[in-house]
Amino acid sequence: MFVAIDRTSKFAFVELHEKATTSIAADFLFALIKAIPYKIHTVLTDNGTHFTDPGGETWTPVEIKQMLAEGKPFRAHAFEHACARADIDHRLTKPKSDCALACGARRAGG
């Protein structure tokens, strides 16, 4: 399950999937962009492998945009690449943080 919650408007967007893969995470981001009437500036995700490289061996969206503009070949994580294509800053929760879980539980009434 992928869940996006706008902390200001409380708008929630959910998709259910059998697996959480990098390409499904990227597709979820594009579906979210189409579903809301305003620009997404920043996304905050956990450190799951479907959102980022666990070893930190990935390019940032800013670096990806620069390489795309320069026409340089590169390999990038699918979600990071999706953020770069959509001009969205991708931030990660701190390791072993309960932030994402707690925020989701509050929105769900838990």
Question: How many structural domains compose the chain?
Answer: 1
| Percent of the chain topping pLDDT 90 | 47
Instruction: Write down the pLDDT at residue 96.
Output: 65
Q: In 1-110, which ranges are E strands?
A: 2-5, 12-15, 42-45, 89-92
CATH number at residue 97: 3.30.420.10
* pLDDT tens-digit readout, 79-95: 998 999 999 999 988 87
pLDDT at 107 over 50: no
Torsion angles phi and psi, residue 13, rounded to 5: -135, 130
Show the domain range for 69: 2-107
End-to-end CA distance of the chain: 17
More confident residue, 44 or 96: 44
